Structure 1
Amino acid sequence: MSHATHSKPFFSIPRITALSIAIACSLASPAFAAQTPADAPDGATPETLDTVIVTGTKADDAFGEKSGIPLSRMPQSVQVIDAEQIQTQGARSVGDLLRNVPSANPGNSRVARYQSFSLKVRGFLADQMRNGIRQRYYEDIDASAMSNVDRLEILKGPSSVLYGQSAVGGIISVITQRPESGFGGSATIRVGEHDERVAGFDVTGAIGGSDRFAARLTGEIERSGTFVDGQDIDRNNIALAARWKVSDAVTVHWLSEYIERETLGYAGLPVVGTVVGNGRGTVSRERFLGEPSLRPLTADSPLIQLWADIELSESWTLSPRYQYQGFRTDFSQVRLRSMQADGATVNRNGRYGTEDDDYQIAQLDLSGHFDTGRIGHKLLVGIEASREDSTFLQYNLTDVAPINSYAPIYTYPGVAPTTAFSFDFAGLGDGTAFYAQDLISLTPSWDIIAGIRHSRFDYEQTNDGIRDASEVSATTWQLATNLRLSDRWSLFGGVNTGFDTESILGARDANGNTFDPERSEQLEAGVRLNTDRNRLSVAVLDISRKDALTADPVDPDFSVQDGEQRVRGIELEGVSQLTADWDLTWGVARLDGKVTRSNDGDQNAELGDTPKLTGLIRSRYAIAGTPWSFDAGVYAVSDRRLVNGSDVRLPGYGLVDLGVQYARDDWSIGLTINNALDKTYYSASGNVFSVLPGEPRHVGLRVRHAF
């Protein structure tokens, strides 16, 4: 979640939105009678094509909501985590689910302020999309809000052509639950250690006696403690999805969601006394070193998505999309700083803040297929406009006292908090983009994918009354191929590029010039095996983050755009159905991260928070003829640097998860034991002063009734 902002509007979101809706309405008439697309499966209709079902092993399902490319023909590594895995593994956050991805870093536990800041793929941060549309703030609120999630699709490496500016590591694509025509639903209760109490529901069906209109309502409420002393998590989320089949040619989709979370601002634990010894023993992972009497972190976000699929002919479809999301937070934060000479007392500082953000994005895509001679084309072209409006007000706490890590005595409420004004920020940003992607079928077994995107952003920001305006643009591209050697084997590879403006907004060099967006590039080549019982993917990769800001060697008070980081490696992942009742999922990744160019004293240093080796193996066995099934998994990570070039290393660790499921008729019961051996481990906080402990052993029980 970035708080840098944007500029003079040159494209009005309301106009784009009105245009999209007007087009949808004007074409929503019987005159545009639909026919099944030529490349649809036999017997498919526009309605059945509306929902993509992913099992994690099927190769013919399309990736995401925009690409239209089957998984078996994707020229880039992608991995799918489906709803069954979310339930049976006892996952309580998006980070937990990333332990199914060999090259992913699951980041901080859900007690952290914002888990999304720490999620990585292939050594670099990963962004989140929701139904194919970029998220700016929504994913930050509540990493545990998964009651409306159908599946996650992890696209590895930069992917800007269709999805716009994004983090270097890749995209975590969240696909939400969709309405179904048949009536059904479920109620779920989950209880567990640390006073975990969660209740959820899911109801769907047609409305008005016709399958032309269907809706789905999901929700969840949690009132739980955590493993951290005195830190509770209160959260609520609700979602309403609707599908309206206006005619045989037009289907309109609606999604509205609301999430909120309240918890104490977690400060983590000091590096000294956890991963660096001090002769005093290890600081307890349950220790809370913030200030429990300060106001908690409260955050909420509404989200609205509206899109339509308008079949212009057998070959062409028009898809207008619109998204609005807000972000509201009121918080206090205490941060750990340097350790004093006694090895136990840690210095601290703190702040109060309020933030209010709105983000809108509108897209208009035209997709279709045609032939030029013997060469087939599956083309997607689109335009996009976005607007971001942000405000952030901060006061620094001036009287936060140091605290003993082993026997904390809190500053407040013994004294009243005193504050000093820090900054008052407001920003407005407008963006436009034009993009195109062509899946070119040179032969029935050989595809080439070519894509290009040009994005422009105008930013205007006011910081403490001082106004600054800037304009940036970026052109990104993709060129990749997929060659099917047989019904089982295929080769894939290519170059994908990306861009990001997160670090450069508002920054200027010593001459007062603005910076260009950061660039990223991935070179990847791999081989896939797909059979009825096995799926295997092996990929070698080279990812670079380029044009990063680093200190100006002439004037260190300023920056120059000369930094570069690189990760090279190999990743293997597979799924096997050993018998009709026994499945096995496994993966391993070897990554070598390096700072290749820097003026910050860390050139040629090892990239921080990037383990060289990560491995996983998970198995599920169902006892034939009974309602019982069993799950087990092992996830292991090697040691890694705390930050770039640091002498401090986070120790490697291994986690064991166990589970048993009972399902009969409309009832299912699941017992999960995560971190069964109660391993103590830590994740990086992003600074040199603190780390965040991982979740200890957690036993949870889930009871679900379907109707």
Structure 2
Amino acid sequence: MRASSRPWRLSPLTAAVRYGLGLSLVGASSLALAQDDAAEMASDTLVVSATALKVATPLVETPRPVSTVEREELDERNVQRLDETFRYRAGVLSGHYGADNDTDWFKVRGFDQSTYQDGLRIYRTGYYQWLPEPYGLQSVDVFKGPSSILYGEAPAGGLINAVSKRPTAERQGEIELQFGNRDHRQFAFDTSGPATESGDVRYRLVGLYKERDGDLDHTDNERYYFAPSLAVDLSDDTSVTFLASVQKDDGVPTNPFKLLYGTVQDTPFGKVDPQTSYGEPDYDKNERTQASIGYELRHRLDDTWRFEQNLRYSHMDLALRSTYVLAQLDERTAGRGLVYRDGEIDSWTMDNRLIGNWYTDRTENTLLLGVGYQDLGLEGKEADPYPFGSPIDIFDPQYGNFTPVSEDQLTDRKIDKQQTGLYVQDQLRIDDRWVLLGSVRYDQAQTDNVDRTAGTTQRADDDQVSWSGGVMYLGANGINPYLSYTESFEPQASVDDDGRLYEPLEGEQWEAGIKVAPPGWDGYVTAAVFDLEQRNSLVTSPDGGRQEQSGKQTSRGFELEGVGYLTDQLQLTAAYTYTDAEDEDDQRKSLIPRHQASTWLDYAFQEGALQGLKLGGGVRYVGGSVYGDVSVPEYTLVDAMARYDFAGSWRAQVNVNNLTDKEYIASCDYWCYYGESRSVIGSLSYRF
């Protein structure tokens, strides 16, 4: 039942989890959790991840599609935003909205994805965007396709899991300075090690300050970031890791929205300059403060069972004024709209897991029993006026012709959402040749949308059972074929133009693939075909207003990905993606190219006069996309890197993205978006 006016109350299942399991949190309610240390460990040619199954499992022995980017690669490519992470992986599209300085944008297998940090959901509701700082991450995973079975709330595209840096047993540290074009300046530090002589207490402190102009005129952003963490071994069987972070952003938002007219369509006045901004520099702002605190608890009950608990509390304050172009009026002018948000989000996320392992002469069985709980509270004032200000000349914009939003134009809104999930997963290995995987999850979600200005309340109750299964054969030569089925379910904590809550998004996927990791080779190759369907999809409305809900959308495709060393000095990363994505009318979906390909090579000189030098370069190809009858051309970009380690502890590095400064349209939906211009950043770091 939806949009009811019944008094708010907790469901029996939610109440049981909130109050029953909540008893275990007494005295620790201000803490939040981080993910398993085993989440990312290198093991020769294998990567062990807890993202795919919530238990440490080699990715090449998992009948689910997951790709990982480690800290070394994040450093090598000097990733500045989370959505730059998977440029050289299959199945992920980023940069399709240009260089947005206040949002990370991904499409996975043709659909949106959700973002997690340390295995717990990061809420991105409407314009309240939680942005992980890449310098504070140890690795990043992408789970491709529906993933509600273990994570509950998730769209059909999949999820991104950012893994925070955490304390290390060995003492280490780094100080780094960066300078680049668009007035990029950054100072960062990272220090970690044992806090006691025995090493049973370990710490880490990570901090950063950076500022940079946006890719559009009159835009910029300044960021402060600090993340302390502490790991404590309470006994041989029990450990707890505390993680916290605070991040403050202050800037003028980049709105890359451009009209079709002047970008893909010719005009009597030529094309619009890619750096042209249609915002209001003296009025627009994006002031965001985000903070979180939490813990992860690990306790071994006996030789068979262990208990794990994750908890995190997060808070965000947002003051957003963002002016954008909306509708063409004549050959030179267009009307503009404004996004006005002034509010805050508080969220609690918790995951409890009981894991058991049994062994026989021929089998290994891993049973996972879990309970997850999420609580989101959003309240604030909002407005979306159109028109906002006087019409603007899209070829020669003049600013300042507007009247600020007044108090009587604002809607005072409050949204509360609680979601509880119970899940069971069993993984059975037979004769070290077969992996059988089966899972089921039940979710119960409640969402209340209160318009305090109008005095109205809407209520949505949503329940869902999600299924998942998979089978894989482990070949003696490291060739592992698999077949899998997964489902997704995502209640919405946002509203349409009429203030109504959206229906939950639902998805399902079939996939067949092969993972190859030959013994003795430091690398892997994966290939997969998939058939993915999402219902109740959100799309941009024809008039460019808020998103509206459509029917069934599909995505079918093929992915090929490989990462490995060709020699001891030469490493290759390569990916190819074919995606056939269709909307509810069986027409090709906007934004999504059919073809994507990328390759990155780096070579490390290990002896002679050039010892310490590492050179790298990559090519990214993105095929053409469409918006209705409009065709968006393909484009190819070149990236480059040079690094030199010297004097024992010093490192100098230069990264250039879009080396040729190619001008291109990244994609079009109602609007068109120029891709990011050339980025040049130089780094100097001292490691100790």
Partner of 1:654: 636
Partner of 2:650: 667
Partner of 1:521: 508
Are 1:473 and 1:517, in contact at CA under 8 Å, matched by a contact in 2? no
Are 1:239 and 1:258, in contact at CA under 8 Å, matched by a contact in 2? yes
Are 2:381 and 2:413, in contact at CA under 8 Å, matched by a contact in 1? yes
**CA offset digits 1:323-362 (Å, max 9, x no partner):** 11112101112121111231x3121122432121111122
Aligned pair 1:700/2:681, yes or no? yes
Aligned pair 1:20/2:3, yes or no? no
Look up the SS of the partner of 1:200 in the other structure.
strand
Aligned pair 1:233/2:221, yes or no? yes
Look up the SS of the partner of 1:99 in the other structure.
coil
Aligned pair 1:488/2:475, yes or no? no
Paired with 1:443 and 1:23, the residues of 2 have a C-alpha distance of: 46
Unaligned runs of 5+ in 1: 26-48, 552-558, 598-602
- Displacement of 1:147 in angstroms is 1.5
Paired with 1:637 and 1:184, the residues of 2 have a C-alpha distance of: 39
**RMSD of aligned residue pairs (Cα, Å):** 3.0
> How is 1:178-577 mapped onto 2 (pairs within 5 angstroms)?
178-268=166-256, 269-342=258-331, 344-371=332-359, 374-397=362-385, 399-412=388-401, 420-463=408-451, 464-502=454-492, 517-531=504-518, 532-548=521-537, 563-577=551-565
- Displacement of 1:14 in angstroms is 6.6
Partner of 2:586: 604
- Displacement of 1:425 in angstroms is 1.1
Paired with 1:560 and 1:205, the residues of 2 have a C-alpha distance of: 50
Partner of 1:158: 146
Equivalent residue letter for 1:221: Y
Are 2:142 and 2:158, in contact at CA under 8 Å, matched by a contact in 1? yes
Partner of 1:634: 619
Are 2:655 and 2:681, in contact at CA under 8 Å, matched by a contact in 1? yes
Paired with 2:677 and 2:389, the residues of 1 have a C-alpha distance of: 29
Partner of 2:544: none
Partner of 1:613: 595
Paired with 2:192 and 2:128, the residues of 1 have a C-alpha distance of: 27
- Displacement of 1:197 in angstroms is 0.1
Are 2:505 and 2:534, in contact at CA under 8 Å, matched by a contact in 1? yes
Aligned pair 1:586/2:569, yes or no? no
Partner of 1:554: none
Partner of 2:32: none
- Displacement of 1:502 in angstroms is 2.2
Task: Sort the Cα spacing of 1:582 and 1:334 in 2 relative to 1 into closer, same or farther, 3 A.
Answer: same
Are 1:497 and 1:520, in contact at CA under 8 Å, matched by a contact in 2? yes
* More deviation, 165-174/247-256: 165-174
Task: Sort the Cα spacing of 1:140 and 1:593 in 2 relative to 1 into closer, same or farther, 3 A.
Answer: same
Are 2:41 and 2:47, in contact at CA under 8 Å, matched by a contact in 1? no
Paired with 1:585 and 1:188, the residues of 2 have a C-alpha distance of: 26
Large movers: runs of 4+ above 4 Å: 22-25, 51-57, 108-111, 138-144, 371-374, 396-399, 415-420, 503-509, 547-551, 559-562
Are 1:273 and 1:281, in contact at CA under 8 Å, matched by a contact in 2? yes
Paired with 1:282 and 1:516, the residues of 2 have a C-alpha distance of: 40
Equivalent residue letter for 1:383: V
Equivalent residue letter for 2:119: G
Task: Sort the Cα spacing of 1:100 and 1:140 in 2 relative to 1 into closer, same or farther, 3 A.
Answer: farther
- Displacement of 1:428 in angstroms is 1.7
Partner of 1:34: none
Paired with 1:560 and 1:636, the residues of 2 have a C-alpha distance of: 31
Look up the SS of the partner of 2:24 in the other structure.
helix
Are 1:386 and 1:432, in contact at CA under 8 Å, matched by a contact in 2? yes
- Displacement of 1:692 in angstroms is 2.9
> How is 1:59-74 mapped onto 2 (pairs within 5 angstroms)?
59-64=46-51, 66-74=54-62
- Displacement of 1:243 in angstroms is 0.6
**CA offset digits 1:560-585 (Å, max 9, x no partner):** 99811111111101123221111111
- Displacement of 1:401 in angstroms is 1.3
Aligned pair 1:125/2:106, yes or no? no
- Displacement of 1:545 in angstroms is 0.5
* More deviation, 661-670/262-271: 262-271
Paired with 1:56 and 1:111, the residues of 2 have a C-alpha distance of: 36
Are 2:444 and 2:462, in contact at CA under 8 Å, matched by a contact in 1? yes
Paired with 2:553 and 2:38, the residues of 1 have a C-alpha distance of: 39
Paired with 1:121 and 1:396, the residues of 2 have a C-alpha distance of: 29
**CA offset digits 1:429-472 (Å, max 9, x no partner):** 22211001111113311011101100001222211310122311
Task: Sort the Cα spacing of 1:653 and 1:350 in 2 relative to 1 into closer, same or farther, 3 A.
Answer: same
Partner of 2:10: 9
Paired with 2:153 and 2:513, the residues of 1 have a C-alpha distance of: 25
**CA offset digits 1:571-605 (Å, max 9, x no partner):** 1011232211111111101111112x4xxxxx121
Are 2:61 and 2:472, in contact at CA under 8 Å, matched by a contact in 1? yes
- Displacement of 1:634 in angstroms is 0.2
Are 2:492 and 2:502, in contact at CA under 8 Å, matched by a contact in 1? no
Partner of 2:543: none
Q: Quick one: which of 657, 661, 671 aligns to 1:678?
A: 661
Task: Sort the Cα spacing of 1:208 and 1:352 in 2 relative to 1 into closer, same or farther, 3 A.
Answer: same
- Displacement of 1:115 in angstroms is 2.6
Are 1:102 and 1:589, in contact at CA under 8 Å, matched by a contact in 2? yes
Look up the SS of the partner of 2:534 in the other structure.
strand
Equivalent residue letter for 1:462: V
- Displacement of 1:608 in angstroms is 1.3
- Displacement of 1:111 in angstroms is 4.7
Equivalent residue letter for 1:565: Q
Are 1:350 and 1:400, in contact at CA under 8 Å, matched by a contact in 2? no
Are 2:60 and 2:516, in contact at CA under 8 Å, matched by a contact in 1? no
Give the TM-score of the pair, scaled to structure 1: 0.87
- Displacement of 1:173 in angstroms is 1.1
Paired with 1:362 and 1:533, the residues of 2 have a C-alpha distance of: 36
* More deviation, 384-393/161-170: 384-393
Partner of 2:123: 136
Look up the SS of the partner of 1:211 in the other structure.
coil
- Displacement of 1:421 in angstroms is 1.6
- Displacement of 1:420 in angstroms is 4.9
Equivalent residue letter for 2:432: P
* More deviation, 50-59/438-447: 50-59
Paired with 1:550 and 1:96, the residues of 2 have a C-alpha distance of: 23
Paired with 1:24 and 1:340, the residues of 2 have a C-alpha distance of: 57
Identity among equivalent positions (%) equals 21
Paired with 2:173 and 2:98, the residues of 1 have a C-alpha distance of: 28
Paired with 1:143 and 1:346, the residues of 2 have a C-alpha distance of: 31
- Displacement of 1:504 in angstroms is 8.3
- Displacement of 1:265 in angstroms is 2.8
Paired with 2:529 and 2:153, the residues of 1 have a C-alpha distance of: 24
- Displacement of 1:112 in angstroms is 2.1
Are 1:504 and 1:549, in contact at CA under 8 Å, matched by a contact in 2? no
Equivalent residue letter for 2:511: E
Are 1:114 and 1:140, in contact at CA under 8 Å, matched by a contact in 2? no
